[in-house]
């Protein structure tokens, strides 16, 4: 059983929903590999969870670092029963990685896309943690990847839409092999995702006090880890149909082709 996340800029295996998911899975008796970028925080997080939990250092911001992570996971796991993609970045400013792509696009979309390909011969099931804000997104090949027209909210929604567009394509790709994939919006959760400084940050922290806890957000993710369906989208515990641009099959294929080129998986 493998659960991955990113510690900086989002809810990784070392905090928030990612930590709660690892805790629940380990508590159910599964072997969990917790991935985080910060070694110190990642080790502390793994040590804080009772059960069979191992820390794996992994950076999801570049294709080279994702490939190194995949090599490490392949060395440790002959079989990946469940791969949970939980890493997320809600950007406050436009930052390009060394690959020349916008950072949240790299983490939210390219990293899970590449890991799915690099580990697919060992996968049993994939759970993609998504976001209901995908409906506000606009996926534009050649523009979203570089953060063109950057906006904190809009760019986050754009990257989540890009990622979600590939879920039905993975479901179809893996159908004969028996590998399944579902996506889930865990709800509006009180985590560190999107935290800011200054007055706006203070207002956000005040609003978050009324939001659901990370443990509550982990519940639908853990439930899907034991699921058997594929190509579905869940709003918390309820399966719901995709909306708007997420239904555009031609756009999905263009987003897929762009991700193949950017990650060189061909």
Does 233 qualify as catalytic in the annotation? no
Q: Calculate the average pLDDT of the chain.
A: 89
CATH of domain 2-263: 3.40.50.720
The answer on pLDDT for 144 being more than 70 is yes
Are the C-beta atoms of residues 91 and 102 closer than 8 Å to each other? yes
Give the distance, in angstroms, between the CA of residue 206 and the centroid of all CA atoms in the same chain: 26
pLDDT at 42 over 60: yes
pLDDT band (50, 70, 90) for residue 198: low
Q: Other C-beta atoms within 10 Å of 178: how many?
A: 11
pLDDT above 90: percentage of residues in the chain:
80
Closest CA to 6 of 48, 64, 69, 67: 69
Per-residue 3-state assignment (H helix, E strand, C coil) for 215-229: HHHHHHHHHHHCCCC
Q: What is the pLDDT of residue 209?
A: 52
> Which residue do the tokens 């969870």 mark?
49
Q: Are the C-beta atoms of residues 149 and 143 closer than 8 Å to each other?
A: yes
Q: Which of 11-25, 163-177, 181-195 has the highest mean pLDDT?
A: 163-177
Look at residue 13 and tell me whether its pLDDT is greater than 70. no
Q: Which whole number is the average pLDDT over 248-259?
A: 98
Q: Is the pLDDT of residue 9 over 90?
A: no
Q: What predicted TM-score, i.e. pTM, was given to this entire model? A: 0.88
What integer is the mean pLDDT of 55-73? 97
Query: Which tens digit of pLDDT belongs to each residue from 130-139?
Result: 999 999 999 9
CB 35 within 8 A of CB 58: yes
pLDDT exceeds 60 at position 120: yes
Is 219 within 8 Å of 225 (Cβ atoms)? no
Report the 3 state secondary structure along 15-27. Answer: CHHHHHHHHHHHH
Q: Is the pLDDT of residue 199 over 70?
A: no
Cα-trace Rg, the chain: 17
Which residues, in sequence order, are CB contacts of 157 under 8 Å at separation 6+?
131, 133, 134, 135, 136, 137, 138
Cα 119 from Cα 122, distance rounded (Å): 6
- Angstrom distance (rounded) from CA 189 to CA 20: 12
- What are the structure tokens assigned to 47, written together? 């040590």
Which one of 55, 105, 113, 156 is the catalytic residue?
A: 156
What count of other Cβ atoms lies within 10 Å of the Cβ of residue 96? 14
| Residue 191 pLDDT grade (very low, low, confident, very high; cuts 50, 70, 90) | low
Domain ranges of the chain: 2-263
**Does residue 3 have a pLDDT over 90?**
no
Does the pLDDT of residue 192 top 80, yes or no? no
pLDDT at 216: 86
Residue 264 tokens read as 């060189």
The arithmetic mean of pLDDT across residues 109-135, rounded, is 97
Give the pLDDT confidence of 80-113 residue by residue, as tens digits.
Answer: 999 999 989 999 999 999 999 999 999 999 999 9
pLDDT of residue 214: 75
Q: What is the pLDDT of residue 208?
A: 44
Q: For helices 111-119 and 63-76, give the axis angle rounded to 10 degrees.
A: 40
Strand order in the sheet with 232-235: 53-57, 32-36, 2-4, 80-85, 123-129, 180-185, 232-235, 238-239
């Amino acid at each position: 059983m493998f659960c991955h996340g990113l510690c900086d800029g989002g809810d990784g295996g070392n905090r928030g929903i990612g930590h709660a998911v690892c805790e629940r899975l380990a508590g159910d008796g599964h072997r969990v590999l917790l991935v985080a970028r910060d070694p110190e925080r990642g080790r502390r997080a793994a040590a804080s969870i009772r059960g069979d939990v191992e820390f794996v250092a992994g950076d999801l911001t570049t294709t080279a670092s994702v490939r190194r992570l995949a090599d490490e996971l392949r060395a440790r796991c002959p079989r990946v029963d469940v791969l949970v993609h939980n890493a997320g970045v809600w950007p406050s400013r436009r930052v390009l990685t060394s690959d020349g792509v916008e950072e949240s696009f790299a983490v939210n979309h390219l990293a899970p896309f590449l890991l799915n390909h690099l580990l697919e011969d060992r996968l049993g099931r994939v759970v993609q943690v998504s976001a209901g804000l995908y409906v506000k997104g606009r996926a534009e090949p050649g523009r979203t990847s570089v953060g063109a027209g950057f906006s904190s909210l809009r760019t986050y929604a754009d990257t989540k839409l890009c990622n979600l567009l590939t879920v039905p394509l993975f479901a179809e790709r893996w159908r004969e092999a028996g590998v399944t994939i579902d996506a889930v919006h865990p709800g509006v959760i009180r985590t560190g995702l999107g935290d800011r400084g200054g007055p706006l940050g203070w207002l956000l922290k005040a609003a978050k006090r009324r939001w659901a806890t990370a443990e509550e957000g982990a519940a639908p993710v853990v439930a899907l880890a034991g699921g058997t369906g594929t190509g579905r989208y869940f709003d918390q515990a309820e399966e719901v149909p995709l909306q708007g641009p997420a239904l555009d099959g031609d756009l999905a294929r263009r987003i897929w082709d762009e991700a193949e080129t950017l990650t060189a998986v061909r």
